[in-house]
Amino acid sequence: MDTLSYKTKSIRKEDVERDWYIVDATNLTLGRLSSKIAQVLRGKHKPSFTPHVDTGDYIIVINAEKVRLTGNKWNAKEYIRYSGYPGGQKSKTAKQILDSKPTAIIEKSVKGMLPKNRLGRAMYKKLFVYAGAEHPHEAQKPQEFNF
């Protein structure tokens, strides 16, 4: 038997075929939505997944302001940032972030689920989040992504 025919093929970055998917975030739970989006951005939903190559697809998220958080998380969940200076730690609740920038909640959640290296930063660039139902990506003919 030829042993080469049984080896797993690693896909090259030149051979990756990317699709465009659209996700409506209306009444979807934030964490479950974000983990599925991160999985598609990484390319783990494809049989040709290769860990060291960005094999993921493009994701468009619409209606980001209608995402759902369970329990009392709108008031209890805090997003903390730190400037690096003494007294420079600031925090906002999820409700405050939703009021100021509704797309930031989904973007931050998905970014935390991607690898923390240059490959993860390249994957994150394929995510497009919009607060309303309109988006400028009709030319790419995005398909509906069903969970």
What tens-digit pLDDT sequence spans the chain (147 residues)?
Answer: 555 667 778 899 999 999 999 999 999 999 999 999 999 999 999 999 999 999 999 999 999 999 999 999 999 999 999 999 999 999 999 999 999 999 999 999 999 999 999 999 999 999 999 999 999 999 999 999 987
Ordered alpha helix ranges (H), the chain: 30-42, 73-76, 94-100, 104-112, 118-124
Q: Which of 107, 19, 115, 117 is CA-nearest to residue 64?
A: 107
- Contact (CB, 8 A) for 78 and 89: no
Please name each of the domains of the chain with its CATH number.
Answer: 18-144 (3.90.1180.10)
pTM of the model: 0.91
